[in-house]
Structure 1
Amino acid sequence: MYSKMIVDINCDVGEGIENEHLLMPYISSCNIACGGHFGNVKSIDKTIKLAKENKVKIGAHPSFPDKENFGRLLMQISDEDLKKSIQNQMNLFLERLSLFDAKLHHIKPHGALYNAIAVNEKLAIFFADVIKPYLKETYLYVPYNSVIERVALKNNIKIMYEAFADRNYNNDLSLVSRKQKNALLVDKRAVLSHVLQMIKHQKVKTISGLEIPIKSDTFCVHGDTENAIEIVKFIHQEIQKEGFKID
């Protein structure tokens, strides 16, 4: 786990935005799409190479096999088909990593899968069972006070708590739906304030104005947020001015 003076900033990358070369200098870990919602050998290889060049920790970003909806809708799929898809995504990713002599630091599920295992115990248990063989020396990124957090700890899976720098929260610590106009934080100063509140006080201010306790080891800025480059550059600079190290 990270000490209080060290902050990890992560981005979802390899998702077709083609801005990874601009993001990488300002982040410390990344989550690379591995074929479920986006990604193929070419995009995976390109992103791994960039991560290595920038000394950014590498994570796999598996999802529902749903490129049509970018993995952001809950998918009706059999357990067997979902298991095969996650295994195929992970096996492809590990194969590409080995070619670059790169190490897997973490796994972070994407989109609707991430949100579902945060609240659905049956799916969280299923996901943990499928993913556990890949987590022997790596972390699973999980939201604080979630179902997948409890399931992972019960299964002796190492976790890191993830919070979202560019997303607003509800009182139950779920993310405000992207269908709502206030789901995203795009003003760089608002993002910084949001992050510093979580770092310094272990609390997040929700859209209703409440301050709710939260744990956070890593902060996500979505690579497809319109001004993601501006945001990561700004918070990278300002967080270090506050005396923290980005690592």
Structure 2
Amino acid sequence: MYHVDLNSDLGESFGAYTIGLDKEVIAQISSANVACGYHAGDPLVMAETARLCREAGVAIGAHPGFPDLMGFGRRNMACSPKEVKAYMSYQLGALYAFAKAAGLKLQHVKPHGALYNMAAKDAALARAIAEAVAEFDDKLILLGLANSFLLTEAEAVGLRTASEVFADRAYQADGSLVPRSKEGAVIHDKQLAIARTVRMVKEGKVTAITGEEVPLRADSICVHGDNPSAVEFVREIRKTLTEEGVQVEALGNFIQ
């Protein structure tokens, strides 16, 4: 039996601005990565997202990013490992409060955007993130890009890890994601994306944009649901995985 988690980045609305279709997406996923107020989200949004996750029985995790609301956390910032560690601790504490108030325990941590991508290739940043998580709660799972420093540094400090793959993103030969600024970075053909996802889960491989076969482990699939067609895409992915004999469940149920 194959097992995989379906995760989505949620709670990214802010003030008067609504981003994403969180309620519709939560109905289709097994784990939610909730923004913690630095790249997106605010206290009311965090509280509401935690409530929705509790009602749907979806596991909740922190989605901390750079302090960059204007850039949605997608701009690289020149932050030291010491600064990154402090940013992580601050955001973990914020979401923990809302999860606890909703009667939930945090399951995992997944860095957001530029912080995620930079730490995937920078061992010092990855270690800072891992240490912050381990010092906060060493039972948490660190969710990171397959074959990245995020996973190796987390394992080095004794954390459980989950290897993340992306349903609708193209890969480079080194296993990193093709930057969004490049043509072909996002896969718009739904059936192609679903077929690639099934192969990543069952065969542990994905074809890079340049044609090479890239080995990876797929513990969790990141899916996006920020428009009605994307929500339907998430629904189709889950349906296809089930038909292919893949059990969709939260990370905490199968990550040892």
TM-score (norm 2): 0.90
Question: Which of 5, 10, 28 does residue 7 from structure 2 map onto?
Answer: 10
C-alpha separation in 2, matches of 1:149 and 1:52: 28
Q: Is the CA contact (8 Å cut-off) linking 1:191 and 1:231 kept in structure 2?
A: no
After TM superposition, list the pairs within 5 Å mapping 1:1-247 onto structure 2.
4-16=1-13, 17-224=19-226, 227-247=229-249
Q: 1:201 to 1:51 in 2, by over 3 A?
A: same
Counterpart code for 2:63: H
C-alpha separation in 2, matches of 1:225 and 1:198: 25
C-alpha separation in 1, matches of 2:202 and 2:69: 38
* Higher mean C-alpha displacement, 132-141 vs 25-34: 132-141
Secondary structure in 2 matching 1:140: strand
Deviations 1:196-228 (A, max 9, x none): 110121101111122211111000012337732
C-alpha separation in 2, matches of 1:36 and 1:86: 10
C-alpha separation in 1, matches of 2:160 and 2:80: 27
C-alpha separation in 1, matches of 2:221 and 2:8: 8
Q: Could you list the runs of 5+ residues in structure 2 that have no partner in the other structure? A: 14-18, 250-256
Counterpart code for 1:15: E
Secondary structure in 1 matching 2:34: strand
Give the number of aligned pairs. 244
Counterpart code for 1:219: I
C-alpha separation in 2, matches of 1:60 and 1:165: 21
Computed over aligned residues only, the root mean square deviation of the Cα atoms, in angstroms, reads 1.6
C-alpha separation in 2, matches of 1:127 and 1:66: 17
Deviations 1:77-110 (A, max 9, x none): 3455433332221111111111111011100000
Counterpart code for 1:87: S
Q: 1:137 to 1:79 in 2, by over 3 A?
A: closer
CA positional deviation for 1:134: 2.6
Q: Sequence identity of aligned pairs in percent?
A: 36
Q: Could you list the runs of 5+ residues in structure 1 that have no partner in the other structure? A: none
Partner of 2:254: none
CA positional deviation for 1:232: 0.4
Counterpart code for 2:22: E
C-alpha separation in 1, matches of 2:227 and 2:169: 10
TM-score (norm 1): 0.93
Counterpart code for 2:120: A
